[in-house]
Structure 1
Amino acid sequence: MDPIDALTEIATLLERERASRYRSKAFRAAARAIEDFTPDQLADSALLRRTAGVGDTSLAVIQEAVAGEVPAYLAELRARYAPAVSSLRAALRGDLHCHSEWSDGQTPIEAMVAAARALGHEYLALTDHSPRLRVARGLSAERLREQLDVVAGFSGGGFTLLSGIEVDILEDGALDQEPDLLDELDVVVASAHSKLRMERGPMTRRLIAAVSDSRVDVLGHVTGRLIRGERGTRPPSTLDARAVFAACAAHGVAVEINARPEREDPPDELIAVALEEGCLFSIDSDAHAPGQLGLLDEGAARAERAGVPAERIVTTWPLERLREWLAR
């Protein structure tokens, strides 16, 4: 087995199970450290031990791969991880919600693009955070404009990187970025990240105001709940879901089915309400690392169980149709 492939797959699986970011970064660093090594150098244990970025575990992975074996640690991770299976997954063409190291993602944009291409995505929207979310290094207007110049260079060969943002929904429903700059973006995902315990009436009005803004395309993780994971748990926001989803349907805004297992947002019962209200949906990974782009498996399986028709999921649409909807 190619040792770089082995190290990269280990990093991907660690990211997907949301292990410590330092562990996955260590394996990616080891892969970079040996990317120019010859076969003779890869067989030189003394050289590998002296190579910065190669630790004891990554050394064992390299040696087992060079010996023609599937490394034991990789085999363990493969056995531990069983992807969710659904017929809907094959219909997904892309993902409208991911992050890079420009905000709180773990890797550069190019690593996210490479992973999306490897998954067969036709498109991916880069949606780093907006300025008020300082804990996530949200992008100021100036930094976002700088990012737009970078994003333009990542499309080609049947793949398109869409410009975007996950814009914070402020307490009054306004959006946390300059309106003219939002107009320049391909995709705007609007999400609430603060004051999630607002009373039902104000929270409902807040979300309705956001999705009524003509610049918004997707309502992200609508309840803000956390049901497991290292950040602990958090109850869902209290809101009139039927009123919020009716507003989404009226304005053509897609309700995000967030594929992160610690979120599973919206809950199943709210997906049913959104279906009844005639909403569109977007199955998104909310990936903060390359391996997490594969979480679309989980989102697709959930949507299929909930009975969401493929034709109402915007991320099953080809790019041309998606762009028509984004320009509505």
Structure 2
Amino acid sequence: MDPVTALRRIAFLLERSQAATYRVKAFRTAAEVVAAMEPGEAAERVAAGTLERLPGIGPRTAGVIREARAGEVPGYLERLEEAAAADPVPEAGRELLARLRGDCHLHSGWSDGGSPIVEMGLAAAELGHEWAVLTDHSPRLTVANGLSPERLREQLEVVERLNEEWAPFRLLTGIECDILPDGSLDQEPGLLERLDVVVVSVHSRLRMDPAPMTRRLEAAVRNPWANILGHCTGRLLSGRGRPESRFDADRVFAACAEAGTAVEINCRPERLDPPRRLLRKAVEAGALVSIDTDAHAPGQLDWQPYGCARAEECGVPADRVVTTWPVERLLAWAA
């Protein structure tokens, strides 16, 4: 087995299970070190027992390299694969999952993601996506290293260069734009106009009273540059948790339907937002839906089955799921 493949697969499975970032980084770093070696160098170092003298390779990653070089499936990888198999894809939603073509919400190391844009794009393509949307955070979310207008312009150039190499897979330009307390969006309108897809989300003052929160969300989803309402309740189900933001869901989802703004089914296990009762309201309102991972690492791009299961349970029509659309239809709608 190729050591680089083994190390990257371990990192992917650790990310999928939300393992600590330092553990993931150890395997991704080791993969980079091995990939940069001269031909035959890995074999020589395995024979001489000098792998661990290299910066970025420790006892555990060296063990994986040695086992892979010996033609074995590394034991550490085998245990992770068994754990992943014990947590199978939900039965519900498999037909919808097979129809998905992309993911409208993912982050890179440019904001609070854990991997470079290249790693995120390659992982999306390896999973079979035809396209994916890069949506790093907007400026005011400083805790997440949100992109200033200058940094966002620079990112657009990076994405353009990568797409020249990646065809037919396409990485679309986007942003997860903060919805400010008055319902306005946290980025220059001229820049929002240049982006392919704009996800709008609330990250501050989540416990605002229901009436002003309703007005805030309505204003945001009716903004001409808004395409998707991200994780609409802001709830967190794990750790200390966080309650749902309170708002008039009927009014907000009606506004989404009228404006053509999709409601996101956020697939992150600690979010699974919106709750089923609200997702059913979005369906009744006639709103479009986007099934997104909100991935902050390559392995998290594999979370879409959880959203597909919820979509099927709540009666979401497949043709109203924008992540099932070919890129031309998606871009025409988003424009």
C-alpha distance in structure 1 between counterparts of 2:16 and 2:285, whole Å: 33
- Superposed counterparts of 1:2-81, under 5 Å: 2-35=2-35, 36-37=37-38, 38=40, 40-41=43-44, 43-44=46-47, 46-81=49-84
Q: Does 1:179 align with 2:184?
A: no
**Counterpart in the other structure of 2:138:** 130
Q: Tell which deviates more after alignment, 306-315 or 165-174.
A: 306-315
**Counterpart in the other structure of 1:223:** 233
Which TM-score applies when normalising by structure 1?
Answer: 0.96
C-alpha distance in structure 2 between counterparts of 1:322 and 1:65, whole Å: 42
- Superposed counterparts of 1:131-150, under 5 Å: 131-150=139-158
Look up the SS of the partner of 2:106 in the other structure: coil
Deviations 1:199-256 (A, max 9, x none): 1101111000000101000000000000015xx3101101111110000000000000
Residues 43, 69 of structure 2: 8 Å contact kept: no
C-alpha distance in structure 2 between counterparts of 1:45 and 1:136, whole Å: 44
Residue 45 and residue 265 in structure 1: after superposition, are their counterparts in 2 closer, same or farther (change >3 A)? farther
**Counterpart in the other structure of 2:120:** 112
C-alpha distance in structure 1 between counterparts of 2:217 and 2:255, whole Å: 9
Deviations 1:135-190 (A, max 9, x none): 00001111111111111112242111111100000001000011111111111000
Please tell me the residue identity of whatever aligns with 1:198: M
Deviations 1:234-288 (A, max 9, x none): 0110111111000000000000000100000000111100000001000001011
C-alpha distance in structure 1 between counterparts of 2:48 and 2:287, whole Å: 58
Residues 285, 292 of structure 1: 8 Å contact kept: yes
Please tell me the residue identity of whatever aligns with 2:304: L
Residue 175 and residue 41 in structure 1: after superposition, are their counterparts in 2 closer, same or farther (change >3 A)? same
Residues 42, 66 of structure 1: 8 Å contact kept: no
Q: How many residues align?
A: 325
Q: Please give the root-mean-square deviation of Cα atoms over the aligned residues, in Å.
A: 1.2
**Counterpart in the other structure of 1:84:** 89
**Residue 302 of structure 1: CA displacement?**
2.1
**Residue 57 of structure 1: CA displacement?**
0.9
- Superposed counterparts of 1:94-113, under 5 Å: 94-113=102-121
C-alpha distance in structure 2 between counterparts of 1:14 and 1:194, whole Å: 30
Residues 131, 139 of structure 1: 8 Å contact kept: yes
Residues 30, 58 of structure 1: 8 Å contact kept: yes
Q: Tell which deviates more after alignment, 132-141 or 60-69.
A: 60-69
Look up the SS of the partner of 1:283 in the other structure: strand
Please tell me the residue identity of whatever aligns with 1:76: R
| Gaps in structure 2 of 5+ consecutive residues | none
**Residue 42 of structure 1: CA displacement?**
5.4
C-alpha distance in structure 1 between counterparts of 2:218 and 2:10, whole Å: 42
Residues 225, 235 of structure 1: 8 Å contact kept: yes
Which TM-score applies when normalising by structure 2?
Answer: 0.94
**Residue 306 of structure 1: CA displacement?**
2.1
Moved beyond 4 Å, runs of 4+: none
- Superposed counterparts of 1:214-253, under 5 Å: 214-229=224-239, 232-253=240-261
**Counterpart in the other structure of 1:310:** 318
Look up the SS of the partner of 1:97 in the other structure: strand
**Residue 45 of structure 1: CA displacement?**
5.2
Residues 83, 297 of structure 1: 8 Å contact kept: no
Q: Tell which deviates more after alignment, 188-197 or 153-162.
A: 153-162
**Counterpart in the other structure of 1:169:** 179
C-alpha distance in structure 2 between counterparts of 1:168 and 1:64, whole Å: 46
Residues 42, 62 of structure 1: 8 Å contact kept: no
Match of 1:281 among 286, 289, 295: 289
C-alpha distance in structure 1 between counterparts of 2:213 and 2:285, whole Å: 19
Instruction: Give % identity.
Output: 58
**Residue 22 of structure 1: CA displacement?**
1.0
Please tell me the residue identity of whatever aligns with 2:72: E
